[in-house]
Structure 1
Amino acid sequence: MMASTAHPSFPQRPYSSTHGKLPERSANAFGGSAHPTGRDLARGDRERQDRERGQQLQQRESKEPEVPQISDEQREEINEAFSLFDLDKDHRIDYHEFKVALKALGFDLPKSEILSLLSTYGVPPLTPSNPPPQSNRPQNAFAAPHQSASSKPLNPNEPIPPGRLTLTLPSFQTIASKLISERDPRDEILRAFALFDADEKGMITLDDLRRVARELGEGLEDEELVAMIEEFDLEGKGGVGRDEFVGICMS
């Protein structure tokens, strides 16, 4: 029997007691799925919609609206209407303020058209995290705060209804300027005629001229006013009729 050749023993390795075991996993490691759940997908979709809506609104606010060419007097009238009906002085007007401001400019638009314009030009209402710019106007401590037509808080996960959107001055200028530039000149003349013929009798009389001259601070003598009536009263009825007034202004 041959003696076996002695071989040097392999050095022992510091195997820990855990060698060869699978790494421990938490109890729910196999219970949870690696795929997103329906709740995760819904949350991600809402976040994506919020980002897209925020980007669209930011682009809408930063883009300079194209204002049609109007006269300086008409532009001043637009600015005055916005300032007058911006009741809470937050440099925004809501649905109701927008409607009456346009009406003051001579445009009585239906609700559907008002909402369509708000959908196109409107921005979200101001929130505590998005306060209005500071106004230099003194605050009236006794004035009741202006309440919006709808005080229900907005749901950040839902699109803002058009009726809750607001308009800034540049957007209002764009809308009003477009309406004015597209208005029939005859409508503008008839609107001026109505300012003279306040009691809607169908003609401008000497008393009407006296009243308007007084309101405008024009120091005109009665002889001058009578001469104006006689020059354009082609039928000798004691006043200037609507058609005669339109003809004077259109000539």
Structure 2
Amino acid sequence: MASRPSRGEWSWKRYERPGLMQEEIEEVKEAFDLFDVDGTQKIHPRDLRACIQSLNLRRNQVVHHLLNDLERMDGKHLDFGAFLDLMTAKMGERDTKADVSKVFRLFDGDQTGKISLRNLQRVARELGEQLPVEALEEMIARADCSGDGEVTEEDFYVLMTQKTFPY
């Protein structure tokens, strides 16, 4: 049986990621250690999957996606770095479609199902922002997947949930 590194040997700094605080990394490490029952510093996806299922969390949308990701790993063991990447990717999925849809409806004041230049101008005005029309048009162009000059709810969802923004 492999021995576990002592708490003093493990350093959260090695796993720093943009947007993650030390406390969050350490919490994920504690969870990892719970799943690493044999002390090898590796977790088999099958064991993690069994644990999640035994907790009856399958109905949770984020957990469902996590289980699908584990299936795609095809039996490869997870070290802490891979586990942290997997968990933080799921932490980033906090914005549900329903949450994003509520925000979309705030922009879509005329209830057309699309955000137009006029909608964006209204929101900018309500927020006290003095933005030139060109800047607003550029915002719409970056979010508009179909190229019709308006942003659909699906376009808006993609924009709000992506990790980087288009230039």
TM-score, normalising length: structure 1: 0.26
Greater relative contact order, per chain length (Cα 8 Å cut-off, separation 6+): 1
Q: Which structure has more helix as a fraction of its residues?
A: 2
* CA radius of gyration, larger in: 1
